[in-house]
Structure 1
Amino acid sequence: MSLSSVSSNRKLRAGVIGFGLSGRVFHAPFLSASPNYELSTIVERHTDEAQKIYPTVKIYRSTSELMNDPEIDLIVITTPNASHFPLAKEALERGKHVIMEKPFTVSTDEALELIQLVQKQQGKYVLYPYQNRRYDSGFRTIRQIIDQKLLGEEIVEMEIHFDRYRPQLKTSGSIWREQSGPGSGILYDLGSHLIDQALCLFGHPKTITADVRKQRLNAQSDDYFDIRLEYGEQRRLRVILKASMFVREMGPRYQIHGTKGSFLKYGDDVQENELKSGRIPDINDRDWGKEPEHDWGLLHTEISDGQIIKEKYPTLNGDYGSFYEDLYQTIVHSQPLKIRVEDGYNIIRLIELAQQSSQEKRTIVCDKLL
């Protein structure tokens, strides 16, 4: 279905491939709640969990059934990482718009092939990388602070963590994430979010230095990383990205330091737990994604005429629903993409460079970014 063939006053019919954590928590609730979408179909191969929650939704047992459905406008891919590329390629070739869960692909070669396919189709179909963490409350607040230059004209250092305390390997659920194989491990999983946030805020780095390792007993894939991004001699900026499975006492999620002040933010966005508990997103609910005041970050900076403030800074609401509304505006009203297909490629390129840096124990130049 082409962009021009989409009526500006009708819903987009969506099909979701997979009903694990991603499909069940991050995608289906927003497609179901949005007035601009119809959650039409879910591919669930072996169980009937989706039917229990969405009794009117059509259930398919195979991806081919969904691909062949002429009523479907948009396909959401939430399957294991190694299957992202072939499913996205098939969906685009079948004339569907596509949302791709992170990581975008497991290699830059795959990512480039998809970009070339989209270019060959001359923008007829949208391939949209799923980066919901751009809509986290903490990240939205940091963008506001940077845009308003509340920490000064220049940011000199930012550190972002995505830590957990999970010392034991998984024995159920998405075990594939912790097995050896293409696209497995914490760098592809959580690293995709942190790298995207760094790129979104500061653009392309000049060099990358990384330590990627296995820390847990009998781990088959990486479960720790420490990545340092440098932005060249003309910018004092350094960005540090870290994730570990051995952090029982959480430090700040974000630490950002500028020429006039600092901002520290603890805690995670509240939306994930709200969705896991079964709360339905509502575009008219002002409290959706609202963080308790006691979790607001600390702003310590100079604001004017030497006046120093040290106070809590209100956290903006998280809003994962805006991801889907931004996509709708692109498909139906031809608005520019908020998240480019090239953004998905750049994340994979930096993941590959981080792996190379860690293996060779040296700093690598960040080349071939788009």
Structure 2
Amino acid sequence: MSQIEPARDAGTSPIGVGLVGYGFAGQTFHAPVLAAVPGLRLAAVASSQPDKVRRDWPQAAVVPDVHALVARQDVKLVVVATPNAQHHPAARAALLAGRHVVVDKPFTLDAAEARDLAAMAAHLRRVLSVYQNRRFDADFLTLREVLARGRVGRPVYFESHFDRYRPGVRERWREQDVPGAGLWVDLGSHLLDQAVQLFGRPDTLQLDTAKLRDGARVEDHFHALLRYESGAAAPLRVALHATALAAHPAPRYLLHGTLGSYVKHGVDPQEDALRAGGRPGGEDWGVDVREGELALPQDDGSMRVEAVPNLRGDYTRFYAAVRDAILGRGAAPVTADEAVDLMELLDLGRRSAREGRALAVR
């Protein structure tokens, strides 16, 4: 793969960022996070809601579309936060204009589109990454440390849940029968990426999806089983689960190992803080006060339960790593190859759900 070409003005001025889309994702997850990173500057936003953008970011220019955005000389990095069906064409336009690119998850509609963008970024020597912000959740960072320190011994079973209670079907594209909608590519992108980060690619993947809410037009429930039969993680079973009908959610993480178990309830607080209009920074940002627990069997047959304080979460670490990659100071936080691999697994899951069977991961 071609080496990334460092920015010419490295270290002398902030990197100008252009944001494509100012809906929920752009307004909540991208603009406030990237604007909190030293060395990045929100220069322009492509949006059909200029008043909304100017209210929140009066210093940023507002343009009508991605083509007007990439025509600006002050935009070096383009962040694509559009509906999923527009990810590939918007990212492609930005790469062709010589810009570095971050795409919200899911990366594209399918693996073929993902491979096209990855090849283009490699040829043009541009940074291309996907916004997997939940690699920087407080509880996920803590879980990685629990595993790295061998606190539960060899892991044999892992459950990861993202359960919500949203019984009403809303009139938004994510819940309509349109390309790129549905819970599997939405929350499944996070859960699957985290599982691969922890344990690597599985040997087989089996996915079950369903439309459980009254009036549901696209799947609002999924359960995926990843089997590890070879390699360093084997033997291991991983269950990934998400639903829109869980009034009493399951634990966020449940991990069983040969020496004990770890359980964590509740979710990282950064999303709720961003939804409420908060911006990263301050002593409390990313602090998850709901500790996990380790259950450790003792030699005398008793059980010792030990609280596990969470490491601090911080979504700005994603964009800080993107900045450093553009400046030639490290790799992207999610590489283009990783993005392609994940889209291949998401595609395989959809095929598994259609066929009703486990499929081998190649």
Query: What is the TM-score of this pair, normalised by structure 1?
Result: 0.92
RMSD, aligned α-carbons: 1.9
Give yes or no for contact 1:46–1:61 (8 Å, CA) kept in 2. Answer: no
Asked whether 1:336 is paired with 2:336, we answer: no
3-state SS of 1:5 partner: coil
Q: Offset at 1:342? A: 1.6
2:188 counterpart residue number: 191
Post-superposition offset of 1:30: 2.1
Distance in 1, Cα, partners of 2:230 & 2:56: 54
Please give the secondary structure, in 1, of the residue aligned with 2:35: helix
Within a 5 Å distance, the mapping from 1:119-138 to structure 2 comes to 119-121=122-124, 124-138=125-139
Q: 1:309 to 1:37 in 2, by over 3 A?
A: same
Unaligned 5+ residue runs, structure 2?
Answer: none
Q: Which runs of 5+ in 1 are unaligned?
A: none
The alpha-carbon distance between structure 1 residues 305 and 77, as it changes in their structure 2 partners (threshold 3 A), is farther
Task: Show the 5 A alignment for 1:319-358.
Answer: 319-358=314-353
CA distance in 2, matches of 1:303, 1:138: 26
Alignment of 1:272-311 (within 5 A): 272-282=271-281, 285-292=282-289, 295-301=290-296, 309-311=304-306
What is the correspondence of 1:228-247 to structure 2 with a 5 Å cutoff?
228-233=225-230, 235-247=234-246
Q: d(CA) in 1 for partners of 2:229 and 2:123? A: 35
| C-alpha distance in 2 between matches for 1:9 and 1:306 | 62
Question: For 1:75, what is the secondary structure of its paired residue?
Answer: strand
Following superposition, the deviation at residue 10 of structure 1 comes to 2.1
State how 1:9-88 maps to structure 2 within 5 Å.
Answer: 9-88=12-91
Using the TM superposition, name which of 199-208 and 178-187 deviates more. Answer: 178-187
Match of 1:7 among 7, 10, 13: 10
Of stretches 208-217 and 182-191 in structure 1, the one that deviates more from structure 2 is: 208-217
Supply the AA of the counterpart residue of 1:240: A
**Partner residue in 1 for 2:145:** 144
Partner of 2:164: 164
AA matched with 2:57:
Y
Is contact 1:157-1:258 (8 Å) kept?
yes
Match in the other structure for 1:315: 310
Runs of 4+ in 1 over 4 A off after TM superposition: 302-308
Contact 2:298 2:304 in 1 (8 A): yes
* Percent identical residues: 36
1:146-183 CA distances to partner (integer Å, 9 max, x unpaired)?
A: 1111111x110110011111111003xxx111111221
Cα separation, 1, equivalents of 2:65 and 2:352? 40
> Closer, same or farther in 2 for the Cα pair 1:54/1:206, shift >3 Å?
same
Q: Contact 1:129/1:344 (CA < 8 Å) preserved in 2?
A: yes
SS in structure 1 of the partner of residue 217 of structure 2? coil
Shift of 1:232: 1.2
Partner residue, 2:198: 201
Query: Are 1:165 and 1:245, in contact at CA under 8 Å, matched by a contact in 2?
Result: yes
Tell me, what secondary structure is at the counterpart of 1:240?
strand
Asked whether the equivalents of residues 163 and 247 of structure 1 are also in contact (C-alpha less than 8 Å), the reply is yes
1:79-122 Cα deviation digits (max 9, x unpaired)? 0001000111110110101010000001111011111112222x
Number of matched pairs: 357
Q: For residues 46 and 280 of structure 1, do their structure 2 counterparts lie closer, same or farther at Cα, with a shift above 3 Å needed?
A: closer
